Amino acid sequence: MGKPENIKVNNAFDLSVTAKNIISISCLEDIQQLRQLDSGPRLVLGSATNVILDEYFDGTVIHVLMHKITQGDNGVVSVGAGLPWHELINYCLTQDLYGIENLTLIPGLVGAAPVQNIGAYGVEVSSVIHSVTCYNFATQEIETLSNVACMFAYRDSVFKSKNYMILSVQFHFQKVFQPDLSYPSLVQFLADHHLAHDEVSPRVLSQSIQAIRESKLPWPEDIPNVGSIFKNPIIETDSIPADFLEGHRWLVADGQTKLSAARLIELVLTGIEIPPTLDFYKKHSLVLINRGGAVFSEVTELLRAIQQQVHLLHGIQLLVEPEIIES
Positions marked active-site? 155, 228, 321
Residue 12 sits at the vertex; the CA angle it makes with 78 and 165, to the nearest 5 degrees, is 35
Q: Work out the number of other CB atoms within 10 angstroms of the CB of residue 231.
A: 18
Would you say 189 and 211 are in contact if contact means Cβ atoms under 8 Å apart? Answer: yes
C-alpha 161/C-alpha 155 separation (Å) is 13
- Which burial class, exposed, middle or buried, applies to 274 when counting CB atoms under 10 A from its CB (0-12, 13-18, 19+)? middle
- Tell which residue, 53, 58, 50, 83, has the closest CA to residue 69: 83
Evaluate whether 64 touches 81 at the Cβ level (below 8 Å).
yes
Cβ neighbour number for residue 312 with a 10 Å cutoff = 10
Cα 123 from chain centroid? 13
